Amino acid sequence: MISFLNDYSEGAHERILDKLVKTNAEQTIGYGEDCHTEKAVAYIRKALRCPDAGVFFVVGGTQANLIFISHVLKPYQAAISVDTGHINTHETGAIEATGHKVYAVPSADGKVTPRQVEEVLAFHHGDEHMVDPRMVYISNPTELGTIYSKKELSALYDLCKKHDLLLYIDGARLASALTSVQNDISLADYPKLCDAVCIGATKCGALFGEALVVMDPVYSQKMRFSIKQKGALLAKGRLLGIQYEGLFEDDLYLRLGEHSNCMAAKLKRGIQKAGYSFLTDSYTNQQFPILSDAVLAKLSENYLFSVWGKAGEDKSVIRLVTSWMTKDADVDSFLRDLQNI
Amino acid sequence: MISFLNDYSEGAHERILDKLVKTNAEQTIGYGEDCHTEKAVAYIRKALRCPDAGVFFVVGGTQANLIFISHVLKPYQAAISVDTGHINTHETGAIEATGHKVYAVPSADGKVTPRQVEEVLAFHHGDEHMVDPRMVYISNPTELGTIYSKKELSALYDLCKKHDLLLYIDGARLASALTSVQNDISLADYPKLCDAVCIGATKCGALFGEALVVMDPVYSQKMRFSIKQKGALLAKGRLLGIQYEGLFEDDLYLRLGEHSNCMAAKLKRGIQKAGYSFLTDSYTNQQFPILSDAVLAKLSENYLFSVWGKAGEDKSVIRLVTSWMTKDADVDSFLRDLQNI
Amino acid sequence: MISFLNDYSEGAHERILDKLVKTNAEQTIGYGEDCHTEKAVAYIRKALRCPDAGVFFVVGGTQANLIFISHVLKPYQAAISVDTGHINTHETGAIEATGHKVYAVPSADGKVTPRQVEEVLAFHHGDEHMVDPRMVYISNPTELGTIYSKKELSALYDLCKKHDLLLYIDGARLASALTSVQNDISLADYPKLCDAVCIGATKCGALFGEALVVMDPVYSQKMRFSIKQKGALLAKGRLLGIQYEGLFEDDLYLRLGEHSNCMAAKLKRGIQKAGYSFLTDSYTNQQFPILSDAVLAKLSENYLFSVWGKAGEDKSVIRLVTSWMTKDADVDSFLRDLQNI
Amino acid sequence: MISFLNDYSEGAHERILDKLVKTNAEQTIGYGEDCHTEKAVAYIRKALRCPDAGVFFVVGGTQANLIFISHVLKPYQAAISVDTGHINTHETGAIEATGHKVYAVPSADGKVTPRQVEEVLAFHHGDEHMVDPRMVYISNPTELGTIYSKKELSALYDLCKKHDLLLYIDGARLASALTSVQNDISLADYPKLCDAVCIGATKCGALFGEALVVMDPVYSQKMRFSIKQKGALLAKGRLLGIQYEGLFEDDLYLRLGEHSNCMAAKLKRGIQKAGYSFLTDSYTNQQFPILSDAVLAKLSENYLFSVWGKAGEDKSVIRLVTSWMTKDADVDSFLRDLQNI
């Protein structure tokens, strides 16, 4: 079986793995106070051109989300998210478990618009019988594979600043956004466009790892207390440092993101050529073609993918995900089989 | 510098590392639903002779503790722990953050006695103005290096069952307890002596990993929901499976525990011979000698260790921790230097 | 100014007040363990013909909701509610503050349908990456003044039982539902139609008070621990007992509900006669007429009411609420003024 | 039976009750936005000579404690309390239920000393593996009937300010402290001696009511959101306003406190004269005499009181509580019976 199920089906890029092997016998201080972590922090601050940024490595994305959100919100404050947002539907109520409401707004393309935020604020209008919306949570790319343009993100962040809202970007697949052919936002732009971003590595070359980057030191303060309390302060913290060192000492992170995008683009072209349409127009590593259930039954004999939902009586949207490690041959094989059905 | 700071200063045992390298290119289902995890679960069930046990792998010990405790307790229920218990003092209030009081009882040797539990129950006597103590949390070995005898543990568990309390054992260093010269409790005894045990690997040969083992399926039910909600469902869950596979496919886990104990015993003998006493009489991989501050100042030029507390005007208790990877030569060096001071 | 703002603008019915005055010098045991509370519990059990019901008096509705929901749900479980549900929008995230997601479904008339519940279950399909919906929360009357028919409620509860969901009814205005001309559900029917109901008195004759009634003793167990923990165990608990005694020793509770409905019906008829339409077709003590903003500006000189939302460019929906104490003359005055505008 | 069980056995002082009756038919805005509440706030600000103070009325003491503590602490922060502190032992883990550890220190007289606070800080030393102690919680009078002198309280608050800790005073029985013959702290002193104080009325003349007074507006901000979220925003909020109006429009609050102290002092003198000793030297309305179990058995035929604990083989400490309504005759009767045994 060839898997397009997700982008965490394999281990780590060989450079990462090599580094882990080579450093294995080193004795280091625990909990991320080692020299590898220090270096990785420096690389990321440099990439973002934000020397004051708080950079915190944790193992998983749900951890990053729940730690940042619960760290900065007051008990009665809430985060706004699209209905398909990861914190709204795929983290088992992790944010609510820390006491905060996720206020969901509908979205066809996975993005929050400034207008929606304004409507949410108008609806709540400072009424103490309702939660106090204080954060906008977005993903880039979104769960639907789309990305924000610089103009869109700027408009959203301007509105956030106007209303004293925090803008937090979940970048579980940020490598794919950064290297999308549509993208016009560089890593160095992020500090001007949001309050915090999570730069994911689990889905881009590492065994695991998410870098929570907080621009203003005010919101970084005592973050390690929250990280420890939520069970996310890794004893051998260097494992995170070493992996991010490997990804950011040159442009490996971006190259891997680019590879996954190329593989996805090839899938997209092939599927379009075969006459199928898509749920969204994605230029990142997730593609959502709409295929007939008969075709899907056939494909599922040799390929793993997830069914996203129904699209009429005998059609379904599926999700195909490529990764930093997806093989050209596997894409070819998929397209060939699709054509032959 | 040679470190006796803790048992998570190095990477992983080479067999574990090899396995990670060899399996790196495999495509597996995420979130611990892969074949490696399946095998690891089977190994652990077999080692415990408990085919129904729920076995859940998570990355860290605080995660295991907060997940199990919050999963099984009702909102108004509390866990009893010794004052030096890890959940009471070294997890930044992680248990309280899930809503539960940790009721601490004093202890000189790190162990909870049946009598203390009875006193806590008598004090609370079902009064709804107080919490409802429903769990006893212990560590084996304790934070002070001591271990429970089978007789002690049986007495404690009998009391727990009599009063409908759950007994949960934090085994972050269980390998060291299992292989202590004082030990008379085998892994296969645990299902009869507690409701759940966490078998730690972070401190015994793995890069990371804690296996939460829950004996009665009633308490395992929907555990994966809690694991996900707390941010502890590892995307590449196989990393945990592969490591536990490596540790439990033969007796590697025990051999590594034994090694750390041998190194600790050697330290103990040498320090005793040099005329010093200890805070507790430990036969596991943590030793707590009492040394003069002058001697400590000298030792700290070449060795890392933690100061546990003062012991009179110019003396301190320090903690020396050995690991599965501690070198004989490093222990020799420490003892030689101590003698020469 | 005459207020149609809500049904908690005045104090208590005189019989209630008399009882409070007469019992004032009695010395009673605190925290609801007094004889008045005992009697009130007995009256309610009798009215519901449910001798095993757990009956718990608390001061406010948000308390009742958050206590019951957090008492019976596991950390990863969620409650389903309509989007206009009180717990979803008017309790400042009280349920989320106890750790649970409120899963909102849209509704034009304020009611949850069995089909919506089925869709929510199908969407979640036991997936541990999502919350586990385990409760349906409804209000009767709803926030929009509508009520459930016996047939509707039966169908909903049957579905709940089929899927092992709890059905909880927020009856902050239950007196109004019970005495609506449309109603076909008696108090004695409730034990067969839900798992718990809150019988509100704050909005029906008492100074304050909500009776949380839990049908199956399994879910009542140790409820007082939750009540105390959430700060809702009233020291002079008898105040609640005395008030419910007064309301339930005969049919006062129903008579007061009926009065508020009559006043509302009169308002409705008058407004209809004046040519206006309504957001919903309510036969309870909340009416939602749609008036032009010019008319509203005029009315607001002498009357208090809340604006529910816009209804086109220059019209708004307002909410008029009558109470057990609303005066006939005040209704007449309002209708006269409306006609004269 | 005559009750010395507690100071919430009776209803309200007649002036309070009269006010409730007289205002019963008034229509007011809900949730404490009425004119009575406004007046009561003004009275309290004046009594404290603190025009900026945030004054928030809630129904019960546990509510006041959990709301203030959870409102001002960050998730990883903790409150320091004596072991007998109300939040530590008699609120069913209410503070922990909001996510915060209560760090308990031992105390024979119910008071926290500056030295204890320093020791707690030294123990935690900013270590992120432990909670961050950020508040000192005390009661005045303490649970053992003792009170703080101005010198003691100043010393404690100076230390708090030095270490950026908040000092919160639970004054459930503040009237008794303010009017104790030992007392040298006036209401007007409080703003200089703490960050917040709760002025209790439940135990001093009201049906219920606690006034949470927060000195610095920074900590008052959006407090009403927290009050609502925790279910403590009373719909007919005026009930709290009216009662505090009655207590603070002249010196009624103090007179009632004084009465309870006089009754307690009389009990104390009589019991001393009869040759018995006390657990603490209390000059407030709680007395803790040590009596033989035989005597207690006899007394318990006609009097209600609580047994505080054993005091040797056949003796016990009991708690006798007097209230604003305790009758001289009842005290005489108790002392006579004690003498006659």
Closest by CA position to B43, among listed B259, B261, B258, B243: B243
Residues on chain A touching C78 (C-beta within 8 angstroms)? 93, 96
Chain D: residues touching B (Cβ < 8 Å): 75-76, 78, 89-93, 96-102, 104, 128-131
pLDDT bracket for residue C79 (50, 70, 90): very high
Mind listing the pLDDT tens digit for each residue in D131-181? 999 999 999 999 999 999 999 999 999 999 999 999 999 999 999 999 999
User: Cβ C130–A92 below 8 Å, yes or no?
Assistant: yes
User: Cβ A98–D76 below 8 Å, yes or no?
Assistant: no
Residues on chain C touching A96 (C-beta within 8 angstroms)? 78, 96, 99-101, 131
User: Cβ A128–D222 below 8 Å, yes or no?
Assistant: yes
Chain D interface mutation, best of B91, B96, B98, B103, highest count of D Cβ atoms under 10 Å: B96
Q: Give the sheet arrangement for strand D102-105, strand by strand.
A: D54-58, D210-214, D196-200, D166-171, D132-139, D77-82, D102-105
Pairing of strands C210-214, C54-58: antiparallel
Q: Where are the beta strands (DSSP E) in B111-177?
A: 132-139, 166-171
Neighbours of chain A (3+ CB pairs under 8 A): B, C, D
Mind listing the pLDDT tens digit for each residue in C123-177? 999 999 999 999 999 999 999 999 999 999 999 999 999 999 999 999 999 999 9
The partner residues of D151 in beta bridges, in order of sequence, read none
DSSP H/E element including A19: helix A14-22
Is pTM, for the whole model, over 0.95? yes
Mind listing the pLDDT tens digit for each residue in D96-136? 999 999 999 999 999 999 999 999 999 999 999 999 999 99
Percent of chain B scored above 70 by pLDDT?
100
Closest by CA position to B185, among listed B143, B144, B154, B142: B154
Residue A187 DSSP class: G
Q: What share of chain B is helix, strand, coil (3-state, %, to 5)?
A: 40, 20, 40
User: Cβ A94–B228 below 8 Å, yes or no?
Assistant: yes
Distance CA B229, CA B223 (A): 10
Using CB atoms, pick whichever of A99, A130, A131 lies closest to residue C99: A99
Mind listing the pLDDT tens digit for each residue in A308-334? 999 999 999 999 999 999 999 999 999
Using CB atoms, pick whichever of A92, A99, A130 lies closest to residue C97: A99
D187: tokens are: 């209401």
Q: To the nearest whole angstrom, how far is the Cα of B168 from the nearest Cα of chain A?
A: 18
Residues on chain B touching D106 (C-beta within 8 angstroms)? none
Cβ-based neighbour number of residue C128 at 10 Å: 19
Chain D interface mutation, best of B92, B102, B123, highest count of D Cβ atoms under 10 Å: B92
Spatial contact of D91 and C228, defined as CB atoms under 8 Å apart = yes
pLDDT of residue A315: 97
Chain C interface mutation, best of B125, B164, B222, highest count of C Cβ atoms under 10 Å: B222
pLDDT of residue C230: 98
Q: To the nearest whole angstrom, how far is the Cα of C97 from the nearest Cα of chain A?
A: 4
- Prediction ipTM score: 0.97
User: Cβ A76–C89 below 8 Å, yes or no?
Assistant: no
User: Cβ D130–B76 below 8 Å, yes or no?
Assistant: no
Spatial contact of B140 and B107, defined as CB atoms under 8 Å apart = no
Average pLDDT over residues D35-54: 98
Distance CA C121, CA C86 (A): 22
Q: Residue type for B60, please?
A: G
Residues 6 or more apart whose Cβ sits within 8 Å of residue A186: A178
Residue A233 DSSP class: -
Query: Which residue pairs from D46-51 have beta carbons closer than 8 angstroms and sit at least 24 positions apart in sequence?
Result: D47/D187, D47/D188, D47/D248, D48/D187, D48/D188, D48/D190, D48/D191, D48/D213, D49/D188, D49/D191, D50/D190, D50/D191, D50/D213, D50/D215
pLDDT bracket for residue C113 (50, 70, 90): very high
Residue A289 DSSP class: B
Closest by CA position to C198, among listed C218, C170, C223, C175: C170
Q: To the nearest whole angstrom, how far is the Cα of A322 from the nearest Cα of chain C?
A: 21
D242: tokens are: 């009216």
- Sign (positive/negative) of CA torsion D10, D13, D17, D20? negative
Cβ-based neighbour number of residue D125 at 10 Å: 7
Mind listing the pLDDT tens digit for each residue in A126-177? 999 999 999 999 999 999 999 999 999 999 999 999 999 999 999 999 999 9
Distance CA C173, CA C185 (A): 14
Chain B: residues touching D (Cβ < 8 Å): 75-76, 78, 89-93, 96-102, 104, 128-131
Q: How high is the mean pLDDT of chain B?
A: 98
pLDDT of residue C131: 98
Spatial contact of D306 and D284, defined as CB atoms under 8 Å apart = no
Average pLDDT over residues B147-153: 98
Which residue on chain D is closest to A77 by alpha carbon? D225
pLDDT of residue D262: 98
Mind listing the pLDDT tens digit for each residue in A20-67? 999 999 999 999 999 999 999 999 999 999 999 999 999 999 999 999
User: Cβ D128–A98 below 8 Å, yes or no?
Assistant: no
Q: To the nearest whole angstrom, how far is the Cα of C96 from the nearest Cα of chain B?
A: 13
Using CB atoms, pick whichever of D9, D14, D63 lies closest to residue C231: D63
Spatial contact of A102 and A96, defined as CB atoms under 8 Å apart = yes
Residues 6 or more apart whose Cβ sits within 8 Å of residue A64: A58, A170, A198, A210, A212
For residue A207, give the 3-state DSSP assignment. coil
| Residue A245 CA from chain centroid, whole number | 19
Using CB atoms, pick whichever of A3, A98, A234 lies closest to residue B27: A3
Residues on chain A touching D128 (C-beta within 8 angstroms)? 222, 224-225, 227-228, 233
pLDDT bracket for residue B29 (50, 70, 90): very high
pLDDT bracket for residue A184 (50, 70, 90): very high
Mind listing the pLDDT tens digit for each residue in A2-13? 999 999 999 999
Spatial contact of A150 and A183, defined as CB atoms under 8 Å apart = no
Average pLDDT over residues D282-297: 97
Residues on chain B touching C134 (C-beta within 8 angstroms)? none
Average pLDDT over residues C258-271: 98
pLDDT of residue A14: 97
Using CB atoms, pick whichever of A20, A30, A93 lies closest to residue B8: A30
Q: What is the 3-state secondary structure (H, E, C) of chain D?
A: CEECCCCCCCCCCHHHHHHHHHCCCCCCCCCCCCHHHHHHHHHHHHHHCCCCCEEEEECCHHHHHHHHHHHHCCCCEEEEEECCCHHHHCCCCHHHHCCCCEEEECCCCCCCCHHHHHHHHHHHCCCCCCCEEEEEEEECCCCCCCCCCHHHHHHHHHHHHHCCCEEEEEECCHHHHHCCCCCCCCHHHHHHHCCEEEEECCCCCCCCCEEEEECCHHHHCCHHHHHHHCCCCCCCCHHHHHHHHHHHCCCHHHHHHHHHHHHHHHHHHHHHHCCCCECCCCCCCEECEEEEHHHHHHHCCCEECEEEEECCCCEEEEEEECCCCCCHHHHHHHHHHHHHC
pLDDT of residue B54: 98
Q: Residue type for D213, please?
A: V
Which residue on chain B is closest to A201 by alpha carbon? B235
Q: To the nearest whole angstrom, how far is the Cα of B58 from the nearest Cα of chain A?
A: 10
Residues on chain C touching D325 (C-beta within 8 angstroms)? 25
